[in-house]
Amino acid sequence: MPNRVYYSILYKPIYWLGSSKADLCDFPEEARRKAGFQLRAVQRSQMPTDFKPMPAVGSGVEEIRIRTEDAYRIFYVARFAEAVYVLHTFQRRLRKLLNRTFSSDSSATNKCFNIDKSNRRGKAMNEDKSITAQRGSDNVFEDLGFNTEEAANLKIRADLMLDLRQYIQERGWTQEQAAVFFGETQPRISNLMNGEISRFSVDKLLNLINRAGLQVRIEVVSKPV
Protein backbone atom coordinates (compact mmCIF):
# COMPACT_ATOMS: atom_id res chain seq x y z
CA MET A 1 0.00 0.00 0.00
CA PRO A 2 1.51 3.38 -1.00
CA ASN A 3 2.21 5.98 1.64
CA ARG A 4 -0.44 8.63 2.07
CA VAL A 5 -0.31 12.15 3.46
CA TYR A 6 -3.11 12.76 5.95
CA TYR A 7 -1.91 15.96 7.59
CA SER A 8 -3.23 18.31 4.91
CA ILE A 9 -6.81 16.99 5.03
CA LEU A 10 -9.40 19.72 4.60
CA TYR A 11 -11.69 20.41 7.51
CA LYS A 12 -15.03 22.15 8.05
CA PRO A 13 -15.21 25.42 9.95
CA ILE A 14 -17.05 25.49 13.27
CA TYR A 15 -19.97 27.77 14.01
CA TRP A 16 -20.80 28.36 17.67
CA LEU A 17 -24.49 28.91 18.37
CA GLY A 18 -25.73 31.00 21.26
CA SER A 19 -23.58 30.67 24.39
CA SER A 20 -22.03 27.32 23.40
CA LYS A 21 -18.51 28.71 22.98
CA ALA A 22 -18.54 30.72 26.21
CA ASP A 23 -19.96 27.76 28.12
CA LEU A 24 -17.28 25.43 26.78
CA CYS A 25 -14.56 27.93 27.70
CA ASP A 26 -15.74 27.53 31.31
CA PHE A 27 -14.77 23.84 31.24
CA PRO A 28 -11.60 22.89 33.16
CA GLU A 29 -8.39 22.93 31.11
CA GLU A 30 -8.12 19.17 30.58
CA ALA A 31 -11.77 18.93 29.51
CA ARG A 32 -11.17 21.73 26.99
CA ARG A 33 -8.16 19.89 25.56
CA LYS A 34 -10.22 16.75 25.09
CA ALA A 35 -13.13 18.72 23.65
CA GLY A 36 -10.79 20.42 21.18
CA PHE A 37 -9.47 17.06 20.00
CA GLN A 38 -12.96 15.61 19.50
CA LEU A 39 -14.20 18.69 17.65
CA ARG A 40 -11.08 18.65 15.47
CA ALA A 41 -11.97 15.06 14.55
CA VAL A 42 -15.50 16.14 13.60
CA GLN A 43 -14.08 19.00 11.50
CA ARG A 44 -12.09 16.41 9.58
CA SER A 45 -15.23 14.27 9.07
CA GLN A 46 -13.96 11.65 11.50
CA MET A 47 -15.98 10.19 14.35
CA PRO A 48 -15.49 11.41 17.92
CA THR A 49 -14.27 8.81 20.40
CA ASP A 50 -17.47 8.73 22.46
CA PHE A 51 -20.72 10.06 21.00
CA LYS A 52 -24.36 9.21 20.34
CA PRO A 53 -27.26 10.59 18.28
CA MET A 54 -29.67 12.91 20.12
CA PRO A 55 -32.88 12.94 18.01
CA ALA A 56 -34.88 14.23 20.99
CA VAL A 57 -32.89 17.46 20.83
CA GLY A 58 -33.10 17.90 17.07
CA SER A 59 -32.74 16.20 13.71
CA GLY A 60 -29.10 15.32 13.04
CA VAL A 61 -27.93 16.39 16.51
CA GLU A 62 -25.20 14.28 18.13
CA GLU A 63 -23.60 14.39 21.56
CA ILE A 64 -19.87 14.22 22.32
CA ARG A 65 -19.08 12.86 25.78
CA ILE A 66 -16.04 14.22 27.59
CA ARG A 67 -14.80 12.53 30.77
CA THR A 68 -12.21 13.92 33.18
CA GLU A 69 -12.85 14.17 36.92
CA ASP A 70 -16.38 15.10 35.88
CA ALA A 71 -18.42 14.54 32.72
CA TYR A 72 -19.17 17.11 30.02
CA ARG A 73 -21.33 17.14 26.92
CA ILE A 74 -21.26 18.88 23.54
CA PHE A 75 -24.28 18.90 21.23
CA TYR A 76 -23.43 19.48 17.58
CA VAL A 77 -24.66 19.02 14.01
CA ALA A 78 -22.13 17.83 11.41
CA ARG A 79 -24.29 16.50 8.59
CA PHE A 80 -24.11 19.68 6.52
CA ALA A 81 -21.42 20.04 3.88
CA GLU A 82 -20.32 23.55 4.73
CA ALA A 83 -19.71 23.53 8.49
CA VAL A 84 -19.98 21.94 11.93
CA TYR A 85 -22.53 23.66 14.21
CA VAL A 86 -22.02 23.49 17.99
CA LEU A 87 -25.38 23.94 19.72
CA HIS A 88 -24.89 23.37 23.46
CA THR A 89 -22.05 22.58 25.85
CA PHE A 90 -22.54 21.79 29.53
CA GLN A 91 -21.39 19.84 32.57
CA ARG A 92 -23.16 16.48 32.86
CA ARG A 93 -24.31 16.86 36.48
CA LEU A 94 -26.20 20.01 35.49
CA ARG A 95 -28.28 18.17 32.93
CA LYS A 96 -31.37 17.90 35.13
CA LEU A 97 -31.34 21.67 35.49
CA LEU A 98 -31.15 21.97 31.72
CA ASN A 99 -33.82 19.41 30.86
CA ARG A 100 -36.58 22.00 30.99
CA THR A 101 -34.88 23.93 28.18
CA PHE A 102 -34.47 20.98 25.83
CA SER A 103 -37.99 21.05 24.40
CA SER A 104 -37.70 24.69 23.40
CA ASP A 105 -34.11 24.19 22.24
CA SER A 106 -35.21 21.29 20.06
CA SER A 107 -37.81 23.48 18.39
CA ALA A 108 -35.24 26.23 17.84
CA THR A 109 -32.72 23.75 16.47
CA ASN A 110 -35.17 22.28 13.97
CA LYS A 111 -36.22 25.77 12.93
CA CYS A 112 -32.63 26.89 12.53
CA PHE A 113 -31.45 23.86 10.59
CA ASN A 114 -33.42 22.86 7.53
CA ILE A 115 -32.14 21.04 4.48
CA ASP A 116 -32.08 22.90 1.22
CA LYS A 117 -33.81 20.32 -1.00
CA SER A 118 -32.02 21.66 -4.09
CA ASN A 119 -28.67 20.74 -2.56
CA ARG A 120 -28.13 16.98 -2.41
CA ARG A 121 -25.46 17.30 0.28
CA GLY A 122 -27.67 19.44 2.47
CA LYS A 123 -27.11 23.02 3.51
CA ALA A 124 -27.84 24.67 6.84
CA MET A 125 -30.36 27.49 6.61
CA ASN A 126 -30.69 29.78 9.60
CA GLU A 127 -34.34 30.77 9.51
CA ASP A 128 -34.43 31.91 13.13
CA LYS A 129 -32.47 35.18 13.18
CA SER A 130 -32.70 35.28 17.00
CA ILE A 131 -30.18 32.42 17.13
CA THR A 132 -26.71 33.89 16.77
CA ALA A 133 -24.00 31.83 15.06
CA GLN A 134 -20.36 32.88 15.45
CA ARG A 135 -17.80 31.45 13.05
CA GLY A 136 -14.82 29.99 14.86
CA SER A 137 -11.19 30.64 14.07
CA ASP A 138 -9.05 28.23 12.04
CA ASN A 139 -7.88 26.69 15.33
CA VAL A 140 -10.55 25.28 17.63
CA PHE A 141 -8.11 25.33 20.56
CA GLU A 142 -7.85 29.11 20.28
CA ASP A 143 -11.64 29.27 20.38
CA LEU A 144 -11.49 27.27 23.62
CA GLY A 145 -9.33 29.85 25.37
CA PHE A 146 -5.79 28.52 24.96
CA ASN A 147 -3.09 31.08 24.21
CA THR A 148 -1.71 31.28 20.68
CA GLU A 149 1.41 29.19 21.31
CA GLU A 150 -0.33 26.38 23.18
CA ALA A 151 -3.26 26.35 20.76
CA ALA A 152 -0.88 25.92 17.82
CA ASN A 153 0.90 23.05 19.60
CA LEU A 154 -2.39 21.36 20.50
CA LYS A 155 -3.65 21.66 16.93
CA ILE A 156 -0.51 19.97 15.58
CA ARG A 157 -0.76 17.20 18.18
CA ALA A 158 -4.45 16.65 17.45
CA ASP A 159 -3.85 16.38 13.70
CA LEU A 160 -0.96 13.97 14.12
CA MET A 161 -2.99 11.81 16.50
CA LEU A 162 -5.92 11.77 14.09
CA ASP A 163 -3.58 10.81 11.24
CA LEU A 164 -2.24 7.91 13.29
CA ARG A 165 -5.70 6.84 14.38
CA GLN A 166 -6.86 6.81 10.76
CA TYR A 167 -3.77 4.83 9.75
CA ILE A 168 -4.58 2.17 12.37
CA GLN A 169 -8.29 2.06 11.53
CA GLU A 170 -7.70 1.72 7.78
CA ARG A 171 -5.63 -1.40 8.43
CA GLY A 172 -8.25 -2.91 10.70
CA TRP A 173 -5.71 -3.45 13.46
CA THR A 174 -6.60 -4.20 17.04
CA GLN A 175 -4.89 -2.08 19.67
CA GLU A 176 -2.63 -5.05 20.44
CA GLN A 177 -1.57 -5.33 16.78
CA ALA A 178 -0.93 -1.58 16.58
CA ALA A 179 1.12 -1.75 19.78
CA VAL A 180 3.36 -4.42 18.27
CA PHE A 181 3.82 -2.43 15.06
CA PHE A 182 4.69 0.83 16.83
CA GLY A 183 6.68 -0.78 19.64
CA GLU A 184 4.32 0.62 22.26
CA THR A 185 2.10 -0.84 24.98
CA GLN A 186 -1.58 -1.51 24.37
CA PRO A 187 -2.63 1.12 26.99
CA ARG A 188 -0.47 3.66 25.14
CA ILE A 189 -2.28 2.89 21.87
CA SER A 190 -5.59 3.13 23.74
CA ASN A 191 -4.60 6.64 24.85
CA LEU A 192 -3.90 7.52 21.23
CA MET A 193 -7.17 6.13 19.89
CA ASN A 194 -9.20 7.83 22.64
CA GLY A 195 -7.70 11.25 22.03
CA GLU A 196 -5.77 11.61 25.29
CA ILE A 197 -3.92 14.56 23.83
CA SER A 198 -2.11 15.56 27.03
CA ARG A 199 -0.23 12.25 27.04
CA PHE A 200 1.63 12.86 23.76
CA SER A 201 4.26 15.38 22.73
CA VAL A 202 4.83 16.52 19.15
CA ASP A 203 8.22 14.75 19.14
CA LYS A 204 6.66 11.47 20.24
CA LEU A 205 3.93 11.69 17.62
CA LEU A 206 6.41 12.47 14.86
CA ASN A 207 8.37 9.37 15.85
CA LEU A 208 5.20 7.29 15.49
CA ILE A 209 4.39 8.97 12.17
CA ASN A 210 7.88 8.10 10.96
CA ARG A 211 7.44 4.48 12.09
CA ALA A 212 4.27 4.33 9.98
CA GLY A 213 6.14 5.62 6.93
CA LEU A 214 3.87 8.64 6.62
CA GLN A 215 5.00 12.04 5.41
CA VAL A 216 4.18 15.32 7.15
CA ARG A 217 3.98 18.48 5.07
CA ILE A 218 4.31 21.75 7.00
CA GLU A 219 3.20 25.03 5.49
CA VAL A 220 4.01 28.37 7.13
CA VAL A 221 1.72 31.31 6.27
CA SER A 222 1.08 34.72 7.76
CA LYS A 223 -1.76 34.83 10.25
CA PRO A 224 -4.70 37.07 9.20
CA VAL A 225 -4.76 40.37 11.09
How far, in Å, CA of 206 to CA of 204, rounded?
Answer: 5
| Domain encompassing residue 177 | 148-212
- Assign residue 174 the CATH number of its domain: 1.10.260.40
Cβ neighbors of 5 (< 8 A, separation 6 or more) are 214, 215, 216, 217
Give the chain's domain count: 2
Q: H or E segment at 200?
A: none
Q: Are residues 158 and 117 in the same domain?
A: no
Residue that finishes a domain, picked among 122, 140, 158: 140
Residue 8 lies in a domain: no
Q: Are residues 163 and 195 in the same domain?
A: yes
Q: What amino acid occupies position 130?
A: S
Q: Are residues 49 and 111 in the same domain?
A: yes
Q: What is the pLDDT along the chain (225 residues), one digit of tens a residue?
A: 444 444 446 789 999 999 999 999 999 999 999 999 999 999 999 999 999 998 888 778 999 999 988 899 999 999 888 899 999 999 876 555 454 444 444 444 555 555 343 344 445 555 555 668 899 999 999 999 999 999 999 999 999 999 999 999 999 999 999 999 999 999 999 999 999 999 999 999 999 999 999 888 776 767 666
Q: Are residues 54 and 97 in the same domain?
A: yes
Residue that finishes a domain, picked among 114, 140, 166: 140
Q: What amino acid occupies position 129?
A: K
Q: Are residues 27 and 118 in the same domain?
A: yes
- pTM value is 0.82
Residue 199 lies in a domain: yes
